Amino acid sequence: MKTLKTAVLGTVLAVLSGTAAFAGCGIEEGRVSIVGNEFPAIQTIAKAAAACAEGDVTVESNLTADHQKINVAGMSGNPAEYTTAVVANSSIVALINEDVIQPLDDLVAEYGQDIPKHQLITVDGKIMAVAFMANAQHLVYRKDVLEKIGMDVPTSYEEVLAAAAKIRREGLMEYPVGGAYKAGWNLAQEFTNMYLGTDGEFFEPGTANVSINNDKGVETLEMMKALTRYMNPDFLTHDSNATNAEVEAGNVALLNMWGSRTGNLMDDEGAEEEVYSNIAVAAPLTVGGSGRPATTLWWDGWTVAKNISDEDAVATFLAMKAGISPDILNDDTMSEAVWLMPNFEPAPVNMGVLASVEAQSTPYPMVPFQGLLHTALGDNIAEYLQGKETAEQTLADIEAAYTAAATEKGFLK
Amino acid sequence: MKHSSFFWFILPSAFLMLLFIALPIASVVMQSLYTSHEQVIVEVENCGPFGCKKSTTIDQEATAALRDAEPLGKFAGLDVYKDRNHLAFSEIGTAWVESDGLPDFGSALMNLPFYKAMAFTLTYTAIVTPLTIILGFMIALAINSVARMFRGPTIFFSLLPFIVTPLVGGLVLFWMVDARGILGTGLQWLSGDPTLSVKASTGLMWTMLMTYGIWHAAPFAFVVFYAGLQTVNQDTIEAALIDGASRWERIRYVVIPHLTPLVTFVALIQLMDNFRVFEPIISFSAEAHATSLSYAIFNDLGGETRLLSSAAATSVLTIIGVGLLVSPVLIRTYRDFDK
């Protein structure tokens, strides 16, 4: 047993290396086990939480891009394997649906009075998560290319099309528009952005009945198809990483990209100076004159598992609170995300996300059946973009696929 | 072998097969017959860093009692099998009545996810299986006639596609056929079409996936046939030589008949493997052009809301499909055995 403990501690210490220790989390004993996505901001938090591992406290973390495939299973047991899951506003829904996370009201009342109110995520009045960063997709563009064609920074997708046409006409770039249009989750996300931009509603209010087969759905699909004419023909295989590679290669001048990923575009790694020094961010685009930004707002935050002892719940709460304390922000970590902590100082790279918040973009819906619609969207839109069927047929297919899935899950009769 | 020693000999493996094959299949069949309980949805207000918004959530307390009473879910019989995302009986019925002509019915059929996946899976199986066998046989023959001292390295190189992990092998090829990759650019040059892109065309993507399938599986057929070639009776070959048989005639009338049982074996394994085609679809990001039953299962379980019953039903359909596909070979083997 002793060797096991030493091994665990060793792992934790190895994780810790490179950060200052934030001692004194106020935990005496308990088990903390984190599951979450893998990107710099979450790694920073896991490191800071791991610093609470002293004495009888153990802190482990499993950060992986496949986190949402394992978090429900890992929290369903009793006791749960993971005492906390780091989630976003889309993935928290699966945890709430399966009833594996606990309301944090009592813990916040006793240990978390100093957490700013805007960081608390409440569902039906109960605190279910504590958010630490915001994210959104917004316009990223090449200053030098827009200067060459003598056009202003686009504010709508219509202007993007006009600029793209001019860039191609002047022979600057063959495929000037970029976007994560990979069939599946990414493509569904782009539809979601655009559809919200047309002021569309996904469901009949208060029900699980889908309602996207309408004029706004058609308008959304038509705009997406118009954009793809200016994209690399392989767009259906391009996720965010591949899209960014195209930008860094200097092939793309206008794209809708995640705020959390623009830092990679603006640093001096992987691209020529002409490319990275000319990358700039702007507010999210609108479509069709509705005035609503065609993007969704996201938060990332942490939860506490339901099936764990009170002692572990307290330890988890305190360790994660330490993980997102204002102290973790320093010169290295400040630009990793749009942090929600009060001492966050935005850098130019964060302006796109802040503009998205300011423009009152819609948060990605936290509806129990949104995930099913997302999957149905991702499976069916490609056929329309390939020109294999009409927009109406595609929308009907999406609705039918969603309805079958929602019936199976008990949301529809 | 005495019956009792046979029993003790087979017991450990029978037990493990029961535990790791039969029981999981039984549980998958069970799962496919049940769906989630009806969810009670309530309107709530959600608040966060971006303000408050009206939304809906599941009333956990309302369904807790139901869940405890029937933890498996609601019995649905074959409903999941019949729904649009699987066999889609009612959609097919409607399409049959409403379509004008067979082509129209065909395109309505291809619009249903299960049949679209089957179309690719069956084409893939029908093309990759025989070509793998032929290519594997040709490699075995070629290497068998290479000078002995070069055989070791040649065999190693021929086995490489089989050794490389499918996902990695697929990714390597994926980047090579990219419009800016070496193979992709080569294809554009060959065809004289600078806009040609393998990843953007369904036909080329299918060809790519099948080429990959053959490339990956041919070494397996090769190894089996090469082993078989070592057991060909040299006296018969010499006799054929003396009778003036050409190389082709020796292969056709001596070697191939000798290897027939191995062909059955390779065909059986390949039919099962190819029907479950999965890795190339992921590594080539081919979801937009080609799907398979295995991909459908992956997709059901990979979403934010997991569709367990749907994935279970597709798994059962896959098992039935493999069973149907290999049954002719099995029946034949059984008859040969009986003779």
pLDDT at A56: 85
Number of domains making up chain B = 1
Contacts of B276 (CB under 8 A, 6+ apart): B292, B293, B294, B318, B322
**Per-residue pLDDT tens digits for B8-46:** 999 999 999 999 999 999 999 999 999 988 888 888 889
Question: Which is more confidently placed, A14 or B21?
Answer: B21
Q: What is the DSSP letter of B307?
A: -
Domain presence at residue B115? yes
Q: How confident is the model at residue B2 (pLDDT cuts 50, 70, 90)?
A: confident
pLDDT at A42: 92
Let me know if the fold of A2-135+298-351 is the same as that of A136-297+352-408: yes
pLDDT at B198 over 90: no
Identify the CA nearest to A217 among candidates A96, A373, A36: A373
pLDDT at A13: 41
Domain at B256, CATH number: 1.10.3720.10
Once rounded to an integer, what is the mean pLDDT over residues B178-188? 87
Q: How confident is the model at residue B196 (pLDDT cuts 50, 70, 90)?
A: confident
- Mutation target to probe the A interface, by most A beta carbons within 10 A, among B38, B304, B309, B314 is B304
CA of B237 vs chain A CAs: smallest distance (Å)? 53
Once rounded to an integer, what is the mean pLDDT over residues A272-289? 92
Chain B residues inside the 8 Å CB shell of A134 = 49-50
In whole angstroms, give the CA distance from residue A214 to residue A370: 18
pLDDT at B312: 95
Q: How confident is the model at residue A38 (pLDDT cuts 50, 70, 90)?
A: confident
- The full DSSP string for B204-224 is HHHHHHHHHHHHHHHHHHHHH
Mark residue A281 as left, alpha or beta (left: phi above 0; alpha: psi -120 to 50; beta: remaining).
beta
Chain A residues inside the 8 Å CB shell of B77 = none
Once rounded to an integer, what is the mean pLDDT over residues B260-284? 92
**Per-residue pLDDT tens digits for A349-362:** 899 999 999 999 99
Q: How confident is the model at residue B181 (pLDDT cuts 50, 70, 90)?
A: confident
In whole angstroms, give the CA distance from residue B304 to residue A369: 10
Q: Do A411 and B306 touch (CB under 8 A)?
A: no
Per the structure, the complete domain to which residue B235 belongs is given by 104-145+218-338
Chain B residues inside the 8 Å CB shell of A357 = 50
**Per-residue pLDDT tens digits for B228-248:** 999 998 999 999 999 999 999
Residue of B nearest to A297 (CA): B50
Domain presence at residue B130? yes
Residue of A nearest to B33 (CA): A408
ipTM of the complex model: 0.88
Once rounded to an integer, what is the mean pLDDT over residues A250-274? 90
Q: Where are the domains of chain A?
A: 2-135+298-351, 136-297+352-408
Q: Which CATH class is domain A2-135+298-351?
A: alpha beta
**Per-residue pLDDT tens digits for A130-139:** 999 999 999 9
CA of A94 vs chain B CAs: smallest distance (Å)? 6
Give pTM, 2 decimals.
0.89
Domain presence at residue B141? yes
Domain presence at residue B113? yes
pLDDT at A10: 44
Q: How confident is the model at residue A336 (pLDDT cuts 50, 70, 90)?
A: confident
CA of A395 vs chain B CAs: smallest distance (Å)? 12
Domain presence at residue B28? no
Q: Assign domain A136-297+352-408 one CATH number from 3.40.640.10, 1.20.120.140, 3.40.50.1820, 3.40.190.10.
A: 3.40.190.10
Once rounded to an integer, what is the mean pLDDT over residues A367-378? 94
Residue A237 is nearest to which of B46, B49, B199, comparing CB atoms? B199
Once rounded to an integer, what is the mean pLDDT over residues A234-262? 92
Residue of B nearest to A366 (CA): B55
pLDDT mean across residues, chain A: 90
CA of B206 vs chain A CAs: smallest distance (Å)? 14
Identify the CA nearest to A328 among candidates A87, A32, A41: A41
What's the per-residue H, E or C state across A3-42?
Answer: HHHHHHHHHHHHHHCCCCCCCCCCCCEEEEEEEECCCHHH
Q: How confident is the model at residue A24 (pLDDT cuts 50, 70, 90)?
A: low
Chain A residues inside the 8 Å CB shell of B44 = 123-125
Question: Which is more confidently placed, B18 or A56?
Answer: B18
Q: Do B288 and A405 touch (CB under 8 A)?
A: no
Q: Do A91 and B304 touch (CB under 8 A)?
A: yes
- Mutation target to probe the B interface, by most B beta carbons within 10 A, among A409, A411, A413 is A409
Q: Do B84 and A122 touch (CB under 8 A)?
A: no
Report residue B300 as tokens: 């059901």
Domain presence at residue B238? yes
pLDDT at A66: 83
Q: How confident is the model at residue B339 (pLDDT cuts 50, 70, 90)?
A: low
